[in-house]
Amino acid sequence: MVELYQLASTENNKDVIDECEKNLNLLLSEIKITEEKCFLSNENDSFDSYLEIHAGAGGTESQDWASMLRRMYMKWADKKDYKLEIISEHRGEEAGLKSSTIKICGSYVYGWLKSESGIHRLVRISPFDSGARRHTSFASVWVYPVVDDSIKIDIQEKDLRIDTYRSSGAGGQHVNTTDSAVRITHIPTNIVVQCQNERSQHKNKETCFNMLKARLYEHELKKKDENVKSLEDSKTDIGWGHQIRSYVLQPYRLVKDLRNNYENTNPDSVLNGNIDEFLENSLFRLKGKNN
């Protein structure tokens, strides 16, 4: 192909040049796909994923940031034609979200998103501050795989606390006037899962058990990881010192991954779901550490 391209360039044969460039781009795309599959080779990378977002301290500011993050991931999933389901959401009093869990189904979703777990920091002029001052907000993102029936997780009834409560999210009059929402606490690990997207308490309970199974599976995987302690410590403090990515809208415009220093100077594009380059860089970094 190189010789053909050089010959076509010498003769200024535009048709052949265009055909060579087209074939080269196809080859590069195939190489990239093959490379990504090599990096997505862990046993659970092909699984669907739960993605959980929690606002940090700071009230409306952080709750609005949590809502922006959820929108970013939902936009990303939509661009990939992945299937989305909102499992639960707890809205802020004025705006945004206190917390939310979404389920994303598609090819290698967990493999792509697993590096997103951590604290995400936003710096901007607050739309909620009448003095137009700059604010820093934090929100946590935790990603864990959806496990299937082939993976056996032993859950003892004595280890569970099951609470029902009235849904505060969307779902119609029936959801909002009955105790259909379910929260399950796994007492030994203090893992909490909740679901309110179904009108039936039974269906919400079933979804909660599936989420708990996934969380316990992830918990066991991370116990084998030498970095589990630092990850668990970071979950207790959604703030300074634990962030993995910074999104700055003022006084300059920059999104920076603090683990690999990858940067993008177009935060609007990133917040609209164009995060593939961040995911790819994080994926390559993780694979490099594990080899």
pLDDT tens profile 240-255: 567 899 999 999 999 9
Provide the number of structural domains found in the chain. Answer: 3
Q: Give the pLDDT score at 83.
A: 96
Residues 56 and 109 in one domain: yes
CATH number at residue 127: 3.30.70.1660
- pLDDT, average across residues 143-160: 84
Residues 75 and 167 in one domain: no
pLDDT tens profile 265-275: 999 999 999 99
Percentage of the chain lying above the pLDDT 70 cut: 81
Domain contains 53: yes
Provide the residue range defining the domain that includes 208: 157-223
Domain contains 266: yes
Q: Give the pLDDT score at 133.
A: 86
Q: Is 114:82 a contact under the CB 8 Å cutoff?
A: no
- Residue 50 tokens read as 């739960």
Residues 118 and 69 in one domain: yes
Residues 79 and 132 in one domain: yes
Residues 204 and 161 in one domain: yes
Q: Give the pLDDT score at 21.
A: 81
